[in-house]
Structure 1
């Protein structure tokens, strides 16, 4: 019977471990899908910018042959300098190809039957349209398109400008993530068509999934989550995580077979199983001895002692910390793993409360969990931080289970394991998703979220909030003069100087556009926000980055607009941003190298002496 109890407890422990492994893998798959979808958003957003510029150039300057040659040169320069664009093509109003950066000899090809051309010819919407996938007729490479309608000066349809994006870019980004076994990536557009699949499967490209259970039961109901399914391509049952972008409606799906997850879990569990097997053998021996002594007068007491010893053998063989608690959270037993998990000897913990040694946040979590157990809950799970002796922060996960036994009354069993590595991995994924790759500042998406949150917080608390919008003066001339790589270096130095100036842990700096940086200053009033902006302006000017065409200074300068949400205002975050943008516009039109506050129009004008 004792052996059966041992096996039952071991099986229960392994089932819990397996379920936790699947849960952690699902969380990782979902976070990876989110990172890939947001990367796709960034790629498409960056690809839109040169496309819009070319559309304006066609509309305003495409009458003469010289202007058309200049357009062709610009298209080639944009393609060569863009890290994301595969090619650019220009179609006239009848669908004939005028210029393609992929093949200079393809001019005149009729592309009027393409879906994007038909859409733009029939629709007056100027929004760029993402479409695909398509296969190159010459190179046999798969790509997506980003197209935009062209109008002439009279407002009539004049053709289509098309940018192409190589799907291998997304596959290479996906390969940067680590998985046990072979993972699968699929990118699906808003209509349910497969845009990208890795491993590459040509038969899957463009396939529609809008009639599959995944599309009906998952994508149409939730924008992110997990979905188990059997692959229609290889017949393997898989766990997956997916995330749908609200901006592009592209869904990233990352999946891995349950077989690979199982083998990975087995690899992690081998050592624990060996100890459990040894403990099981010991338990069998003890059971045989108990059966021999059942006729003795103290057989009942010995049975209880054997069961306690049995539990201790199992607990001490486990790498997880196992504790027996009474109804008040007092430790009755602590396994040997407390030395590795808590850095405390088991003997020092027996008889003490679970609240001792924890910080206020952890105590609150324990208090809520014990209250739920007392109210009738059978199992509670909590994750909290603990500071190690060397000062490092560790994350611990504890599962508390109510135990009721007829012979020893009630109590609880708590199993604790170190989940620091999984937590750090999740935090790193979150950081990558919220960081601008070039400047290492926050990206536009994270800034917009923080602007809404901090504006609401300022209104609720009655505290001021200042917003700075900063733009590098004549930055296009800088790029034209020195090139894009020095331009990137210049932006990184400006970003680093801005980060060094603001308050660490309180303020937020983000790259809002190409050379535009936004800074949130919670708690700073109009005058303090203006002072911070002028300090940033002076420190950037003090870098003296050469910019010969930024006269009269001949070095890089910035213009800054300041707007402040005061305790008496209840405007929205959009209104605050508009006021800061208006102030920046005034600064750019007031001689540059200037700080202008929207409320009072105070300005610091840098002259030659400065």
Structure 2
């Protein structure tokens, strides 16, 4: 019989158990505090993101209003303001409102400030604007830029009206009046009402002077606190968050705000702090109860273990021998733990495999691990296993794809380590976890790095990569490769007349048509630089490519984007140069520089010959003839 252990040893074991229980409770308290901070950080982040979305929606609304008054002003400035033309203008304005429910009304005022035509059945909210500061600004300045007025209550007093106006010019650019688009705050309130910010949350819009643009702040508890955004608020910037307690109801709130750059609008989204922490409190209570029960169970088992401690001293040697294996498996209990023989056959697999792959341990035990790995990833995994077998390394980490039982492909990461066997045979222990979300994020970020931020087409970097790849493929396969170089006609004049925002919108519209023209997976539509775009068409001969270019010219012209100084069409157009690399021809020059240079020359020929047309480049490279 083993001799009894000293009493002090039992007391030390008891103290050790109590220390473990205290450490568990302390760790859980720290973890819950971290979760509390994370919940607040998430609420602030979501409030900022929602404020950004609401600001973007408001700016889109003002952009629609600006475009509407611009089109009406262009229509009347071109045709005049006699009775017949005003009738056609009214029909045009009603058509614009039907296509844009965001606008409440459109009204045209003459040079004296009295209204000429309006979409409101009983006349506009304001019949005479001669005394308005905005009207005087349009009258006294020859700029055609849109103006944004301060919000005012409507006649019924139940909503706020915001206006976007533009100068109307007659012959010789003489002041002929003002075109006004009105936006009702009830539209914003209806949109905001569909967004769930909790019973005590609120969404509010302001202009950059701090005036309310929506009707909600008449009763909103965040109205007075949000005014601080428009004074000296250190570090506020254009986007951010803060916490406040309004005097109206004393409820602590988290607010996110976002200030617009294109239009004078700021969105503020506030949510109740208690509502933001509700899920955390509920989870913390359940986790706290579970931790307490677990700690009590540990304490009970520890006390019992202490009582049996002296009788188990003789098993120390066995426990020490198994300690390494036990710790490896115990520390990875939440991940999949496997043991493999030298040929990759599984000799042990933990129950976590069912959560990870949907398969049971019994279905995979005894099967080779390499069989389930994606064929593209298998060579790298086999090479890592070979390095372990050859003793070149003791640990390897590999990432690979495999299918779950439900057919969904997932990414897994496995850490492999050589393990000692009592028999001396070679074996490897692997710890596996799911990294699908991380891989998908990496792929999304990689895709974003290859897209142009304005047009959503491929950027120059992606285009250069695709061009090199397709030129090499054309050499190998002997198939033709065509390139269309596309440039917006007189685009600088367009920007001078309409502003860079309108220029961006014009490029976006052209880019949409280009993306439609790139129908096949191998086709690449890209922004080459500035207003110059490119369309790469593999396996397409010159005739087919030129037909696509001619059709694209007609589609852009059909957009009817006003461009008065692009004569004779007075709408936005494009010029296109086409070149084809055909390896089947004896005089072919299968080089990317030749294809780019020839298409560029053809583009300049198209501009020199009158613009708004598609010209095919020469078969042989020549110097640029047109400046």
Please indicate the TM-score interval, normalised by the length of the shorter structure: 0.5 to 0.7
| Deviation of the 1:87 alpha carbon | 0.3
Instruction: Say what the alpha-carbon RMSD is for the aligned residues.
Output: 6.2
Q: For each residue in 1:249-295, what CA deviation from the matched residue of structure 2 results, as whole angstroms up to 9, or x when unmatched?
A: 53434332331121123445666555444423322212333454577
Query: What does 1:382-531 correspond to in 2, within 5 Å?
Result: 388-392=404-408, 446-447=454-455, 450-451=458-459, 454=462, 466=484, 499=516, 502-504=519-521, 507=524, 521-522=535-536, 531=544
Asked whether 1:229 is paired with 2:243, we answer yes
Kept in 2: contact 1:75–1:101 (CA 8 A): yes
Asked whether 1:89 is paired with 2:114, we answer no
Q: Of 274, 279, 285, which residue of structure 2 is paired with 1:264?
A: 279
Q: In 1, distance between residues paired with 2:291 and 2:283?
A: 14
Kept in 2: contact 1:194–1:208 (CA 8 A): no
Q: For each residue in 1:182-227, what CA deviation from the matched residue of structure 2 results, as whole angstroms up to 9, or x when unmatched?
A: 54323343445443375774797898544457x5422x3xx44x42
Asked whether 1:75 is paired with 2:93, we answer yes
Q: In 2, distance between residues paired with 1:580 and 1:271?
A: 74
2:64 matched residue in structure 1: 46
Structure 1 residues 139 and 227: CA distance shift in structure 2, 3 A: closer
Q: For each residue in 1:304-328, what CA deviation from the matched residue of structure 2 results, as whole angstroms up to 9, or x when unmatched?
A: 999x999999997xxx7599xxxxx
1:287 matched residue in structure 2: 302
| Deviation of the 1:147 alpha carbon | 1.0
Q: For each residue in 1:402-433, what CA deviation from the matched residue of structure 2 results, as whole angstroms up to 9, or x when unmatched?
A: xxxxxxxxxxxx99789969x99xx9xx99xx
Asked whether 1:129 is paired with 2:152, we answer no
Q: In 2, distance between residues paired with 1:201 and 1:272?
A: 39
Gaps of 5+ in 2: 1-18, 338-347, 385-398, 415-430, 472-481, 489-511, 555-572, 580-591, 620-627
How many equivalent residue pairs? 483
**SS of 2:262's equivalent?**
coil
2:586 matched residue in structure 1: none
1:66 matched residue in structure 2: 84
| Deviation of the 1:297 alpha carbon | 8.2
**SS of 2:263's equivalent?**
coil
Asked whether 1:12 is paired with 2:30, we answer yes
Asked whether 1:112 is paired with 2:120, we answer no
Q: For each residue in 1:454-487, what CA deviation from the matched residue of structure 2 results, as whole angstroms up to 9, or x when unmatched?
A: 46767999979646699xxxxxxxxxxxxxxxxx
1:567 matched residue in structure 2: 593
2:180 matched residue in structure 1: 162
2:584 matched residue in structure 1: none
Asked whether 1:34 is paired with 2:52, we answer yes
Q: In 1, distance between residues paired with 2:40 and 2:483?
A: 44
Q: In 2, distance between residues paired with 1:416 and 1:297?
A: 36
| Deviation of the 1:86 alpha carbon | 0.8
Kept in 2: contact 1:279–1:313 (CA 8 A): no
Kept in 1: contact 2:149–2:163 (CA 8 A): yes
Q: Which moved more, 1:160-169 or 1:18-27?
A: 18-27
Structure 1 residues 106 and 22: CA distance shift in structure 2, 3 A: closer
Kept in 2: contact 1:79–1:85 (CA 8 A): yes
When normalised by structure 2's length, the TM-score is: 0.57
Kept in 1: contact 2:606–2:615 (CA 8 A): no
Q: Of 319, 322, 340, which residue of structure 1 is paired with 2:355?
A: 340
Structure 1 residues 258 and 341: CA distance shift in structure 2, 3 A: farther
**SS of 1:9's equivalent?**
helix
| Deviation of the 1:240 alpha carbon | 4.3
**SS of 2:279's equivalent?**
helix
Q: Which moved more, 1:152-161 or 1:294-303?
A: 294-303
| Deviation of the 1:390 alpha carbon | 2.9
Q: In 2, distance between residues paired with 1:17 and 1:311?
A: 28
Structure 1 residues 105 and 497: CA distance shift in structure 2, 3 A: closer
Q: Which moved more, 1:169-178 or 1:42-51?
A: 169-178
Kept in 1: contact 2:483–2:537 (CA 8 A): yes
Q: In 1, distance between residues paired with 2:258 and 2:330?
A: 44
| Deviation of the 1:245 alpha carbon | 4.2
Query: What does 1:206-225 correspond to in 2, within 5 Å?
Result: 208-212=227-231, 215-218=233-236, 220=237, 223-224=238-239
**SS of 2:145's equivalent?**
coil
**SS of 2:178's equivalent?**
strand
Query: What does 1:322-333 correspond to in 2, within 5 Å?
Result: none
